[in-house]
Structure 1
């Protein structure tokens, strides 16, 4: 069992600053907008605010292409605005988790500008350069995660540089000790300003196989990822950051882990390893990828979703690791639209997802708008989207033979912009997000789906989240309890228990639009319910059912009981 720490009982709220709240009419959210809404987050029960990148950036990838790690992008405000945010968080007993992007930098960063001047530049080795292949083409067949080759040709020096993401995001060379020193310096800069946590973007990609081999496809999917994912020195590099920054400043850290494994995440997050506090993995958010491919659609595999959640609950606990719990973030379509019903049963569905997730072991993450049940927006045409990945894939899908409307249907389902539309605060113009023209469209359903209406409704999705967040702070079983799956492959129901020496928590959720019945296994029921009393902690319907071995569940019903 991992040693309890303050962040294990906390809930993190993820702010996509560009779409959170605009205070100056620019159409883009800003730091002052976050500061303005801190009381809202404090009332929800949030302890940790994760602020996505607000650094100097050309914004080719919405700030994940950093051109200066220690300066604030004027689009979002000033360093004085940032300092004010820090002070206001402190007044409320809240802390800031800052997004750090150090697998790559923007090609507009001063390091890269110097690096591309000549092969003998002192900054050349800050990045990964290779000569052309014998035929003059790319050095190997590694593919960018945004589509196309991962290599970009530099005319001036006649070499290619590696870009695992956008062509303007050049991968840093972590084999270079000076690069690692620069990263420690920038981390320390923000820690000295009072930042109490870091979310480390695709941090498990920083160590590459230094032979840079061709991927022969013998291990799926054959795009090179196996040669740079959880690479040979990745744990060493993360421990260096822990020893010099994370540990001395007592920081909470979460690593975004791309295509990772359970075994690696146990190592990353086990406190004895001195690496990270917790990890994000994305396996459970690929259960609707046909043949594992993001841009091929299929109905999601409910059994696989449950199996993966269970595997990571049991495996991380057994190995002493710690999960970051999430269904939503800025890179994913809204889970409400993806796994449940975002129309007729929107409220029940949003509460079901919340109850299911918050009952698991780990630290929950709430992505802005999730707590009011924001669904995917309705995209009318490709010109409404802003995401570079989506625009690239719209072109690539047509090059692969898709008709424009077929390509657009896929983009509608998969685009990262699904989660990036402006936060819906009230019923005024632009949902109260901005007095100007929004950088991306506001979902047309905001008059019905907004914060203002939910604050006034005791049965709202918002107040359901508020209660769940409070329960996690109050009851140790959420942190300590062992996980046991109960549903035995039920086609509509996900049910599990959390167990410690004193109590048992049971979570039961019907992920369908049908009335169903669920039976708790005899052995579990006889062992756990003998002479004990159950209490309904929270539910998402007007009913307040007592826990029974056989429980009827209405469409998208979800309940949580505690047995003492």
Structure 2
């Protein structure tokens, strides 16, 4: 253990920044309109030039693509759509050669219904793998065993006429839930993690970690008294028994122990739960959990200074001893930042994300400010949108391809992309923004360079300060270094008494002394 005079150096992921790549939409290398591993390798210099520290890839495993890779048919392979293990190893070497880390997306709650495990499980009630999944007899009325709902809409149970039982699926029927109470499942999935760690992977983002264990006896969930149809069918009931069971923490601890056995590896848990419950996924001193339980609060908080201040204060106060914070604003599942906030405030949001205390995760395309993308009805792919049309639940709009230049299809592919590009791709692309000093891309680069140069921004403390209405004001400090961040979340000029050396403005140019310009964020030394 490090002494107070020689404190333990911060692990890379505390100082670092994670960049999420959605492989289907980053770069196509073979002209089929879909991104792949060779395409990612081709664009790694762009990723490195941002100043991030790690790349997280959404699923690349063999899959029928019912849910675009989150229905895994082989946990230790690569889907031919993206390449093969040789291409993966080449990409991993290229990532490491640039001083970056590589994280994979681990999907432990469910497999594809075409995974050999489920094919066996479904073959008969007496099959040795029957208990690898969750099977139950019909309910008293001949229908589903209980009232649990799928996150994709409808019942969470699918009837199998061959064996005359229902199987559980928290998502699509093509994604049967694994039975994590079965030690053979745990052993097999631990071997999956070991396979990729042995290959040199630096960590995992664990998909829907809180869903993995279900209550014994599978009782009905309580009805949601606040349910409204526009929320989606999954909110008809409260997931009291179908998710977030106490036993999941022991599983998370076992994942952590394995990761720690391999050295400086990182586990990020996807956990969409209230703050007090989220904090339990850090584990305890005796049984640590995941390093970073994903914190999605910035996605859902109203874009007001008072609301953000409260969220930051509450989150910091809730962290357990030794728990390191993290922040997320965009992902493959959430609306684009610029679509929600507009171009001007998306720049302020970038400064917020990259100057808060904790590890930030960026999502591809946000660095060029991709905004709203309308997906024509005949090009909708997202099963969540197809199953519950008209509710605005579609995720395709966040998964559209990157635009690299003004060439055909934005330089993404020689063929028509699998999803349409954003409408202004001819001018909103990486090449166009490279040459604009005040572009969104160069703002992200400047913020990341400043974060790397100033330890107050990477590992320093944070203190929230009083500020005029519409302004978020906080200080980052490390040793003798003090940096002040001022964010104007309005379209009005606001008088703010500040002194010091402006290091960076989201608007560029010279800030006005004692004033914040409309839609301006400032870092001041």
**Residue 217 (str. 1) matches residue 223 (str. 2):** yes
> Does the CA-based 8 Å contact 1:205-1:258 persist in structure 2?
no
Q: Which residue of 1 aligns with 2:432?
A: 453
1:236 matched to 2:199: no
SS of residue paired to 1:471: helix
Distance 1:266 1:93 in 2: 32
Q: Contact (CA 8 Å) 2:493, 2:517: kept in 1 or not?
A: yes
Query: Which residue of structure 2 lines up, in the alignment, with residue 370 of structure 1?
Result: 366
Query: CA 1:516–1:270 in 2, change beyond 3 Å: closer, same or farther?
Result: farther
Instruction: Map Cα deviations across residues 163-205 of structure 1 (whole Å, 9 max, x no partner).
Output: 1111211111111111111111011111111101111111122
Distance 1:79 1:230 in 2: 34
Work out which of the residue numbers 89, 92, 95 in structure 2 matches 1:83: 89
How well do the aligned residues superpose, as a CA RMSD in angstroms?
2.3
Counterpart contact for 1:271–1:321, Cα < 8 Å: no
**Residue 526 of structure 1: aligned partner:** none
Determine if the alignment matches structure 1 residue 558 to structure 2 residue 524.
no
- Give 2:24's aligned residue: 18
C-alpha contact (below 8 Å) 1:215/1:222 kept by paired residues: no
Match of 2:123, SS? coil
Aligned partner of 2:350 among 350, 354, 372:
354
How many residue pairs are counted as aligned between the two chains? 511
Aligned to 2:484: 506
Match of 1:433 in 2: 412
1:538 aligns with 2:501: no
Contact 1:518 1:553 in 2 (8 A): yes
Shift of 1:271: 6.8
Counterparts of 1:191 and 1:84, CA distance in 2 = 16
Deviates more, 1:506-515 or 1:68-77: 506-515
Equivalent-residue separation in structure 1 for 2:402 and 2:283 (angstroms): 32
Tell me if structure 2 keeps the 8 A contact 1:333–1:415: no
Supply the distance in 2 between the matched residues of 1:139 and 1:3 (Cα, whole angstroms).
Answer: 52
- The DSSP-based 3-state class of the residue aligned with 2:102 is strand
Gaps of 5+ in 1: 289-299, 395-406, 521-532
Q: Distance in 2 between matches of 1:559 and 1:166?
A: 45
Structure 1 residue 36 displacement after superposition: 0.3
**Does structure 1 residue 314 correspond to structure 2 residue 317?**
yes
Task: Identify the residue that residue 146 of structure 1 maps to in structure 2.
Answer: 152
Which residues in structure 2 correspond to 1:274-353 (within 5 Å)?
274-287=288-301, 303-316=306-319, 319-338=321-340, 340-341=341-342, 346=343, 348-353=344-349
Cα contact 1:2–1:271 (8 A) shared by 2? no
Q: Is the Cα–Cα contact under 8 Å of residues 328 and 367 in structure 1 kept in the other structure?
A: yes
Which residue number corresponds to residue 29 of structure 1? 35
Instruction: Show the counterpart of 2:268.
Output: 254
2:402 is paired with a residue of what secondary structure?
Answer: coil
Which residue is 1:482 aligned to? 461
**How far is 1:519 from its partner?**
5.8
**Alpha-carbon separation, structure 2, partners of 1:269 and 1:11:** 23
Assess if the C-alpha contact under 8 Å between 1:30 and 1:75 holds in 2.
Answer: yes
Seen in structure 2, the aligned counterparts of structure 1 residues 518 and 100 have a Cα distance that, compared at 3 Å, is: same
Q: Give the TM-score normalised by the residue count of structure 1.
A: 0.85
How far did residue 246 of structure 1 move? 4.2
Contact persistence 1:230–1:260 (CA under 8 A): no
**2: CA distance between counterparts of 1:115 and 1:82?**
30
Determine the C-alpha separation between the residues in 2 that align with 1:2 and 1:175.
37
Shift of 1:140: 1.4
Residue number in structure 1 paired with 2:232:
none
CA distance in 2, matches of 1:301, 1:561: 22
Looking at structure 2, the residues matched to 519 and 129 of structure 1 have their Cα atoms a distance apart, in angstroms, of: 64
**d(CA) in 2 for partners of 1:336, 1:378:** 14
- 2:402 counterpart residue number: 423
1:387 aligned residue: 382
How has the CA–CA distance of structure 1 residues 475 and 273 changed in structure 2, closer, same or farther, with 3 Å as cutoff?
farther
Q: Secondary structure at the match of 1:97?
A: strand
- Mark the CA change 1:118 to 1:2 in structure 2 (over 3 Å): closer, same or farther: farther
Alpha-carbon distance between aligned partners in 1 of 2:441 and 2:457, rounded to the nearest angstrom:
20
SS of match in other structure, 1:226: coil
Question: Match of 1:358, SS?
Answer: helix
Q: 2:48 matched to which residue of 1?
A: 42
Taking structure 1 as reference, are residues 210 and 2 closer, same or farther at Cα in structure 2, changes over 3 Å only?
farther
1:189 equivalent in structure 2: 195
Q: What is the distance in 1 between the residues matched to 2:316 and 2:427?
A: 36
Flag the 1:3–1:208 CA change in 2: closer, same or farther, 3 A: farther
1:117 Cα deviation from its structure 2 partner = 0.8
Q: For structure 2, which runs of at least 5 residues remain unmatched after alignment?
A: 1-6, 227-234
Q: Match of 2:269, SS?
A: strand
Residues 330, 366 of structure 2: 8 Å contact kept:
yes
Deviation at 1:74, TM superposition (A): 0.4
- CA distance in structure 2 between the aligned counterparts of 1:272 and 1:74, rounded to whole angstroms: 42
Distance 2:155 2:69 in 1: 22
